[in-house]
Amino acid sequence: MDATPALRQGDLPDEPAAPRTGSPPAGGPATASTGSAASITLEQIRKDYAGGTVAVEDLSLHVPAGELVVLIGPSGCGKSTVLRMINRLVEPTSGRILLDDEDVTTADPVQLRRRMGYVIQNVGLFPHQTIATNVGTVPRLLGWPTARIRERTEELLELVGLDPARYGPRYPNELSGGQRQRVGVARALAADPVVLLMDEPFSAVDPIARARLQDEFLRLQADVRKTIVLVTHDLDEAVRLGDRIAILSQGGRLEQYADPRTVLGEPSSPFVREFVGGDRAIRRLVVTPVTRDLLAPLATVEDAAGLPTIALGASLYDALAVLLTTNADVARVTDGGRAVGALSRHRLLSIDYPADVVDQRE
Protein backbone atom coordinates (compact mmCIF):
# COMPACT_ATOMS: atom_id res chain seq x y z
CA MET A 1 0.00 0.00 0.00
CA ASP A 2 1.01 3.57 -0.44
CA ALA A 3 1.95 5.17 2.82
CA THR A 4 0.17 8.29 1.66
CA PRO A 5 0.13 11.40 3.79
CA ALA A 6 -2.77 13.77 3.21
CA LEU A 7 -0.73 15.79 0.78
CA ARG A 8 2.59 15.14 -0.84
CA GLN A 9 4.84 17.79 -2.17
CA GLY A 10 4.78 17.77 -5.94
CA ASP A 11 1.63 15.67 -6.21
CA LEU A 12 -0.34 18.49 -7.73
CA PRO A 13 0.47 20.59 -10.74
CA ASP A 14 2.07 23.30 -8.64
CA GLU A 15 2.34 24.68 -5.16
CA PRO A 16 -1.03 25.93 -3.94
CA ALA A 17 0.49 29.34 -3.21
CA ALA A 18 1.70 29.82 -6.77
CA PRO A 19 -1.46 31.37 -8.21
CA ARG A 20 -1.34 34.21 -5.73
CA THR A 21 2.29 35.04 -6.34
CA GLY A 22 2.91 33.86 -9.89
CA SER A 23 1.88 35.65 -13.03
CA PRO A 24 -0.40 34.02 -15.59
CA PRO A 25 1.44 31.97 -18.19
CA ALA A 26 2.03 33.45 -21.58
CA GLY A 27 -0.75 32.75 -24.00
CA GLY A 28 -3.51 33.56 -21.52
CA PRO A 29 -6.34 31.40 -20.35
CA ALA A 30 -7.41 28.09 -21.80
CA THR A 31 -4.60 27.64 -24.27
CA ALA A 32 -2.88 24.89 -22.32
CA SER A 33 -5.80 22.48 -22.38
CA THR A 34 -7.73 21.72 -25.47
CA GLY A 35 -10.55 19.97 -23.65
CA SER A 36 -10.60 16.94 -25.91
CA ALA A 37 -9.41 13.51 -24.88
CA ALA A 38 -5.97 12.38 -26.04
CA SER A 39 -4.62 8.87 -26.44
CA ILE A 40 -1.61 7.89 -24.33
CA THR A 41 1.15 5.68 -25.67
CA LEU A 42 3.93 4.32 -23.50
CA GLU A 43 6.84 2.95 -25.49
CA GLN A 44 9.27 0.73 -23.62
CA ILE A 45 9.34 2.89 -20.54
CA ARG A 46 11.66 2.03 -17.70
CA LYS A 47 12.23 3.46 -14.25
CA ASP A 48 15.29 2.76 -12.13
CA TYR A 49 15.11 4.38 -8.71
CA ALA A 50 18.24 5.33 -6.81
CA GLY A 51 19.33 2.34 -4.73
CA GLY A 52 18.87 -0.13 -7.55
CA THR A 53 15.09 -0.76 -7.59
CA VAL A 54 13.87 -1.35 -11.11
CA ALA A 55 10.27 -0.25 -10.53
CA VAL A 56 9.30 -0.61 -14.20
CA GLU A 57 11.50 -2.57 -16.53
CA ASP A 58 10.11 -2.30 -20.03
CA LEU A 59 6.46 -1.35 -20.41
CA SER A 60 4.62 -0.58 -23.61
CA LEU A 61 0.93 0.29 -23.43
CA HIS A 62 -1.55 2.16 -25.60
CA VAL A 63 -4.57 3.84 -24.01
CA PRO A 64 -7.06 4.91 -26.70
CA ALA A 65 -8.59 8.39 -26.43
CA GLY A 66 -11.75 8.47 -24.35
CA GLU A 67 -11.21 5.06 -22.75
CA LEU A 68 -10.84 4.17 -19.10
CA VAL A 69 -7.93 1.83 -18.49
CA VAL A 70 -7.38 0.29 -15.07
CA LEU A 71 -3.90 -0.64 -13.84
CA ILE A 72 -4.03 -3.42 -11.28
CA GLY A 73 -1.44 -5.69 -9.72
CA PRO A 74 0.25 -6.59 -6.45
CA SER A 75 1.65 -3.96 -4.11
CA GLY A 76 4.99 -2.60 -5.29
CA CYS A 77 4.60 -3.76 -8.91
CA GLY A 78 5.01 -0.21 -10.20
CA LYS A 79 1.45 1.06 -10.76
CA SER A 80 1.92 4.46 -9.11
CA THR A 81 5.28 4.82 -10.81
CA VAL A 82 3.66 4.28 -14.22
CA LEU A 83 0.96 6.84 -13.45
CA ARG A 84 3.52 9.37 -12.25
CA MET A 85 5.68 8.86 -15.32
CA ILE A 86 2.71 9.79 -17.52
CA ASN A 87 2.56 13.26 -15.97
CA ARG A 88 6.31 13.32 -15.33
CA LEU A 89 6.13 13.63 -11.57
CA VAL A 90 8.58 10.76 -12.00
CA GLU A 91 11.01 10.98 -14.91
CA PRO A 92 11.34 7.78 -16.94
CA THR A 93 14.89 6.42 -17.09
CA SER A 94 14.27 5.50 -20.72
CA GLY A 95 11.47 5.09 -23.22
CA ARG A 96 8.95 7.45 -24.76
CA ILE A 97 5.53 8.80 -23.80
CA LEU A 98 3.18 10.14 -26.47
CA LEU A 99 -0.03 12.13 -26.10
CA ASP A 100 -1.79 11.48 -29.37
CA ASP A 101 1.18 11.86 -31.74
CA GLU A 102 3.04 14.36 -29.60
CA ASP A 103 6.16 13.10 -27.84
CA VAL A 104 5.91 14.57 -24.33
CA THR A 105 8.91 12.74 -22.88
CA THR A 106 10.89 15.95 -22.92
CA ALA A 107 8.05 18.48 -22.75
CA ASP A 108 8.00 21.02 -19.92
CA PRO A 109 6.59 18.93 -17.04
CA VAL A 110 4.74 21.83 -15.42
CA GLN A 111 2.91 22.67 -18.66
CA LEU A 112 2.24 18.98 -19.17
CA ARG A 113 0.68 18.55 -15.72
CA ARG A 114 -1.70 21.39 -16.38
CA ARG A 115 -3.13 19.37 -19.24
CA MET A 116 -3.67 16.36 -17.01
CA GLY A 117 -5.97 15.91 -14.06
CA TYR A 118 -4.49 13.93 -11.20
CA VAL A 119 -6.42 12.38 -8.33
CA ILE A 120 -4.12 11.08 -5.64
CA GLN A 121 -4.83 8.52 -3.00
CA ASN A 122 -6.59 10.10 0.02
CA VAL A 123 -7.48 13.01 -2.24
CA GLY A 124 -4.84 15.44 -0.96
CA LEU A 125 -7.05 18.51 -0.80
CA PHE A 126 -5.33 21.63 0.49
CA PRO A 127 -6.61 21.71 4.08
CA HIS A 128 -6.46 25.49 4.58
CA GLN A 129 -8.32 26.31 1.38
CA THR A 130 -12.06 26.12 0.86
CA ILE A 131 -13.58 23.47 -1.37
CA ALA A 132 -14.21 26.10 -4.08
CA THR A 133 -10.60 27.30 -3.94
CA ASN A 134 -9.36 23.72 -4.10
CA VAL A 135 -11.44 22.99 -7.20
CA GLY A 136 -10.19 26.17 -8.91
CA THR A 137 -6.49 25.36 -8.39
CA VAL A 138 -5.47 24.57 -11.96
CA PRO A 139 -7.64 27.20 -13.68
CA ARG A 140 -5.99 29.73 -11.35
CA LEU A 141 -2.55 28.46 -12.33
CA LEU A 142 -3.59 28.83 -15.95
CA GLY A 143 -4.54 32.46 -15.32
CA TRP A 144 -8.25 32.17 -16.05
CA PRO A 145 -10.30 35.30 -15.16
CA THR A 146 -11.88 35.14 -11.71
CA ALA A 147 -15.47 35.06 -12.98
CA ARG A 148 -14.72 32.13 -15.25
CA ILE A 149 -13.02 30.22 -12.44
CA ARG A 150 -16.06 30.77 -10.21
CA GLU A 151 -18.41 29.61 -12.95
CA ARG A 152 -16.33 26.53 -13.69
CA THR A 153 -16.01 25.65 -10.00
CA GLU A 154 -19.78 25.79 -9.54
CA GLU A 155 -20.36 23.73 -12.65
CA LEU A 156 -17.90 21.06 -11.47
CA LEU A 157 -19.28 20.84 -7.94
CA GLU A 158 -22.74 20.37 -9.39
CA LEU A 159 -21.40 17.74 -11.76
CA VAL A 160 -20.07 15.66 -8.86
CA GLY A 161 -23.28 16.12 -6.90
CA LEU A 162 -22.25 18.74 -4.33
CA ASP A 163 -24.30 21.91 -3.98
CA PRO A 164 -21.79 24.74 -4.65
CA ALA A 165 -23.53 27.20 -2.33
CA ARG A 166 -23.43 24.73 0.52
CA TYR A 167 -20.09 23.02 0.04
CA GLY A 168 -18.01 25.61 -1.83
CA PRO A 169 -17.24 27.74 1.25
CA ARG A 170 -16.46 24.78 3.52
CA TYR A 171 -13.02 23.39 4.36
CA PRO A 172 -12.00 19.82 3.55
CA ASN A 173 -12.26 18.62 7.17
CA GLU A 174 -15.94 19.64 7.14
CA LEU A 175 -16.74 17.02 4.49
CA SER A 176 -17.15 13.25 4.64
CA GLY A 177 -14.51 11.01 3.06
CA GLY A 178 -16.73 10.29 0.05
CA GLN A 179 -17.49 13.97 -0.46
CA ARG A 180 -13.79 14.79 -0.33
CA GLN A 181 -13.13 12.18 -3.00
CA ARG A 182 -15.73 13.83 -5.22
CA VAL A 183 -14.02 17.17 -4.69
CA GLY A 184 -10.76 15.51 -5.70
CA VAL A 185 -12.38 14.37 -8.95
CA ALA A 186 -13.90 17.85 -9.53
CA ARG A 187 -10.51 19.49 -8.98
CA ALA A 188 -8.86 17.11 -11.42
CA LEU A 189 -11.47 17.88 -14.08
CA ALA A 190 -11.46 21.65 -13.54
CA ALA A 191 -9.31 22.76 -16.45
CA ASP A 192 -10.90 20.21 -18.78
CA PRO A 193 -7.72 18.10 -19.01
CA VAL A 194 -7.02 15.84 -21.95
CA VAL A 195 -6.08 13.03 -19.57
CA LEU A 196 -7.18 12.06 -16.08
CA LEU A 197 -4.83 10.04 -13.87
CA MET A 198 -6.35 8.49 -10.75
CA ASP A 199 -4.36 6.63 -8.09
CA GLU A 200 -6.73 4.54 -5.96
CA PRO A 201 -9.29 7.36 -6.02
CA PHE A 202 -12.07 5.55 -4.19
CA SER A 203 -10.04 3.60 -1.68
CA ALA A 204 -10.74 5.73 1.38
CA VAL A 205 -14.46 5.09 1.65
CA ASP A 206 -16.55 2.15 2.80
CA PRO A 207 -17.81 -0.38 0.23
CA ILE A 208 -21.32 1.06 -0.04
CA ALA A 209 -20.17 4.64 -0.52
CA ARG A 210 -17.54 3.32 -2.92
CA ALA A 211 -20.12 1.58 -5.08
CA ARG A 212 -22.13 4.81 -5.19
CA LEU A 213 -19.07 6.85 -6.12
CA GLN A 214 -18.22 4.33 -8.84
CA ASP A 215 -21.73 4.62 -10.26
CA GLU A 216 -21.55 8.40 -10.22
CA PHE A 217 -18.14 8.25 -11.79
CA LEU A 218 -19.35 6.02 -14.61
CA ARG A 219 -22.16 8.47 -15.29
CA LEU A 220 -19.69 11.34 -15.25
CA GLN A 221 -17.38 9.52 -17.64
CA ALA A 222 -20.29 8.87 -20.01
CA ASP A 223 -20.70 12.68 -20.10
CA VAL A 224 -17.12 13.89 -20.27
CA ARG A 225 -15.42 10.94 -22.03
CA LYS A 226 -11.88 11.59 -20.80
CA THR A 227 -8.92 9.35 -21.34
CA ILE A 228 -8.49 7.91 -17.86
CA VAL A 229 -5.80 5.76 -16.29
CA LEU A 230 -6.99 4.51 -12.92
CA VAL A 231 -4.97 2.50 -10.41
CA THR A 232 -6.74 0.19 -8.00
CA HIS A 233 -6.17 -2.81 -5.74
CA ASP A 234 -9.78 -3.82 -6.07
CA LEU A 235 -10.55 -6.31 -8.83
CA ASP A 236 -14.30 -5.70 -8.60
CA GLU A 237 -13.65 -1.99 -9.12
CA ALA A 238 -11.44 -2.78 -12.10
CA VAL A 239 -14.10 -4.99 -13.66
CA ARG A 240 -16.81 -2.44 -13.04
CA LEU A 241 -15.04 0.66 -14.29
CA GLY A 242 -12.51 -0.47 -16.86
CA ASP A 243 -12.99 -0.47 -20.61
CA ARG A 244 -9.74 -2.40 -20.43
CA ILE A 245 -7.69 -3.81 -17.60
CA ALA A 246 -3.89 -3.94 -17.55
CA ILE A 247 -2.66 -6.56 -15.10
CA LEU A 248 0.89 -5.88 -13.98
CA SER A 249 3.36 -8.06 -12.08
CA GLN A 250 6.59 -7.02 -10.38
CA GLY A 251 8.71 -4.63 -12.38
CA GLY A 252 5.71 -3.25 -14.25
CA ARG A 253 5.52 -6.35 -16.43
CA LEU A 254 2.34 -6.37 -18.48
CA GLU A 255 0.75 -9.79 -17.94
CA GLN A 256 -2.50 -9.16 -19.77
CA TYR A 257 -4.23 -6.18 -21.35
CA ALA A 258 -7.80 -6.79 -22.38
CA ASP A 259 -11.41 -5.97 -21.65
CA PRO A 260 -12.77 -7.27 -18.31
CA ARG A 261 -14.67 -10.20 -19.80
CA THR A 262 -11.58 -11.49 -21.53
CA VAL A 263 -9.40 -11.08 -18.44
CA LEU A 264 -11.91 -13.01 -16.33
CA GLY A 265 -12.81 -15.57 -18.97
CA GLU A 266 -9.47 -16.16 -20.61
CA PRO A 267 -6.66 -15.34 -18.18
CA SER A 268 -3.52 -15.38 -20.29
CA SER A 269 -1.05 -16.78 -17.76
CA PRO A 270 -0.95 -18.64 -14.44
CA PHE A 271 -0.15 -15.29 -12.79
CA VAL A 272 -3.34 -13.70 -14.10
CA ARG A 273 -5.40 -16.79 -13.31
CA GLU A 274 -4.18 -16.68 -9.74
CA PHE A 275 -4.64 -12.93 -9.54
CA VAL A 276 -8.23 -12.88 -10.74
CA GLY A 277 -9.03 -15.77 -8.42
CA GLY A 278 -11.21 -18.85 -8.32
CA ASP A 279 -14.37 -16.77 -8.19
CA ARG A 280 -13.78 -15.15 -11.56
CA ALA A 281 -16.71 -17.09 -13.02
CA ILE A 282 -18.97 -15.19 -10.64
CA ARG A 283 -17.22 -11.88 -11.35
CA ARG A 284 -17.74 -12.54 -15.00
CA LEU A 285 -21.49 -12.37 -14.43
CA VAL A 286 -20.97 -8.70 -13.58
CA VAL A 287 -19.71 -7.94 -17.08
CA THR A 288 -21.95 -10.30 -19.04
CA PRO A 289 -25.29 -8.80 -20.08
CA VAL A 290 -28.68 -10.46 -20.35
CA THR A 291 -29.08 -11.00 -24.09
CA ARG A 292 -31.97 -12.27 -26.19
CA ASP A 293 -30.33 -15.61 -26.91
CA LEU A 294 -30.69 -16.53 -23.23
CA LEU A 295 -34.44 -15.98 -23.20
CA ALA A 296 -37.32 -18.41 -23.53
CA PRO A 297 -40.69 -17.26 -24.92
CA LEU A 298 -42.86 -15.85 -22.16
CA ALA A 299 -45.75 -17.97 -23.41
CA THR A 300 -44.01 -21.06 -22.03
CA VAL A 301 -44.10 -19.62 -18.50
CA GLU A 302 -47.12 -19.97 -16.27
CA ASP A 303 -48.31 -16.83 -14.49
CA ALA A 304 -45.88 -14.46 -16.24
CA ALA A 305 -47.57 -11.46 -14.65
CA GLY A 306 -46.37 -12.38 -11.17
CA LEU A 307 -42.68 -12.64 -12.11
CA PRO A 308 -39.91 -10.31 -11.10
CA THR A 309 -38.65 -8.07 -13.90
CA ILE A 310 -35.17 -7.67 -15.33
CA ALA A 311 -34.16 -5.25 -18.06
CA LEU A 312 -32.55 -6.62 -21.20
CA GLY A 313 -28.89 -5.61 -21.04
CA ALA A 314 -28.71 -5.76 -17.24
CA SER A 315 -25.79 -7.84 -15.96
CA LEU A 316 -26.26 -11.53 -15.30
CA TYR A 317 -25.03 -10.76 -11.79
CA ASP A 318 -27.92 -8.34 -11.19
CA ALA A 319 -30.31 -10.80 -12.82
CA LEU A 320 -29.18 -13.56 -10.47
CA ALA A 321 -29.51 -11.22 -7.51
CA VAL A 322 -33.13 -10.48 -8.50
CA LEU A 323 -33.92 -14.19 -8.87
CA LEU A 324 -32.35 -15.00 -5.51
CA THR A 325 -33.92 -12.16 -3.54
CA THR A 326 -37.40 -12.79 -4.96
CA ASN A 327 -36.92 -16.55 -4.64
CA ALA A 328 -38.14 -16.96 -8.22
CA ASP A 329 -37.02 -19.52 -10.79
CA VAL A 330 -37.85 -17.29 -13.73
CA ALA A 331 -37.86 -13.55 -14.41
CA ARG A 332 -39.62 -11.53 -17.05
CA VAL A 333 -37.15 -9.62 -19.24
CA THR A 334 -38.21 -6.27 -20.64
CA ASP A 335 -36.80 -4.00 -23.30
CA GLY A 336 -37.90 -0.37 -22.98
CA GLY A 337 -40.78 -1.50 -20.77
CA ARG A 338 -42.02 -4.19 -23.18
CA ALA A 339 -41.71 -7.84 -22.15
CA VAL A 340 -39.45 -9.72 -24.58
CA GLY A 341 -38.97 -13.11 -22.92
CA ALA A 342 -38.21 -15.12 -19.82
CA LEU A 343 -34.88 -15.85 -18.16
CA SER A 344 -34.62 -18.87 -15.90
CA ARG A 345 -32.10 -19.56 -13.15
CA HIS A 346 -31.20 -22.76 -14.90
CA ARG A 347 -30.39 -20.98 -18.16
CA LEU A 348 -28.46 -18.25 -16.38
CA LEU A 349 -26.29 -20.75 -14.53
CA SER A 350 -25.63 -22.89 -17.58
CA ILE A 351 -24.07 -20.24 -19.83
CA ASP A 352 -20.90 -21.38 -21.50
CA TYR A 353 -17.65 -20.70 -19.77
CA PRO A 354 -14.25 -21.05 -21.34
CA ALA A 355 -12.62 -24.41 -20.62
CA ASP A 356 -10.23 -23.25 -17.96
CA VAL A 357 -13.08 -21.93 -15.85
CA VAL A 358 -14.92 -25.23 -16.22
CA ASP A 359 -11.77 -27.11 -15.12
CA GLN A 360 -11.75 -25.20 -11.87
CA ARG A 361 -15.20 -26.45 -10.95
CA GLU A 362 -13.92 -29.90 -10.00
Ligand X SMILES: Nc1ncnc2c1ncn2[C@@H]1O[C@H](COP(=O)(O)OP(=O)(O)OP(=O)(O)O)[C@@H](O)[C@H]1O
Q: Which parts of this chain interact with ligand X (CB under 6 A)?
A: 1-2, 49, 51, 53, 55, 75-81
Residue 76, contacted partner among ligand X, Mg ion, none, CB below 5-8 A by kind: ligand X
Amino acid at 346: H
**Residue 232 or residue 288: which is nearer to ligand X going by CB?**
232
- The nearest distance, CB 234 to ligand X, in angstroms, is 11
Residue 142 backbone phi and psi in degrees, to 5: -85, -5
x/- string (CB under 5 A) for Mg ion, residues 76-95? ----x---------------
Smallest distance, ligand X to C-beta of residue 85, A: 9
Size of the site for Mg ion (CB under 5 A): 2
In this structure, the number of other CB atoms found within 10 A of the CB of residue 258 comes to 18
Q: Do residues 185 and 220 touch, judged by C-beta distance below 8 A? A: yes
For residue 62, the cross-strand partners are 41
Q: Report in angstroms how near the CB of residue 158 gets to ligand X at its nearest.
A: 32
- Measured from the CB atom, the residue of 85 and 307 that comes closer to ligand X is 85
- Minimum distance, C-beta of residue 279 to Mg ion, in the bound complex (Å): 24
Please report how the helices 177-189 and 146-159 are oriented relative to each other, as an axis angle in degrees rounded to 10.
Answer: 130
Q: Measured from the CB atom, is 2 or 11 closer to Mg ion?
A: 2
Site for Mg ion, residues 27 to 86, rule: CB under 5 A: 80
Minimum distance of ligand X from residue 80's CB (angstroms):
3
Residue 167 has phi, psi (to 5 degrees) of -95, -25
Closer by beta carbon to Mg ion, 235 or else 342: 235
CA-to-CA separations, 332 to 180, 209, 288, in angstroms, rounded: 40, 30, 18
> Closest approach of Cβ 354 to ligand X, in Å?
28
Question: Measured at CB, which residue is nearest to Mg ion?
Answer: 80
- In the bound state with Mg ion, the residue whose beta carbon lies nearer, of 71 and 316, is 71
> Nearest 5°: phi and psi at 76?
85, 5
Query: 54 or 98, CB closer to Mg ion?
Result: 54
**DSSP string across 244-304:** EEEEEETTTEEEEEE-HHHHHHS-SSHHHHHHH-TTHHHHHHHT-B--GGGPBPGGGSTTG
Using CA atoms of 265, 268, 274, 279 in order, give the dihedral in degrees to the nearest 10: 0
Strand partners, 256: 247
Q: Which partner from the list ligand X, Mg ion, none does 26 bind, CB cut-off 5 to 8 Å by kind?
A: none
Distance CA 333, CA 77 (A): 43
- Beta carbon of residue 191, minimum distance to ligand X (angstroms, whole number): 25
155's contact among Mg ion, ligand X, none, with CB below 5 to 8 A by partner kind, is: none
Query: Toward ligand X, which CB reaches closer, 192 or 255?
Result: 255
Residues in touch with Mg ion (CB under 5 A)? 2, 80
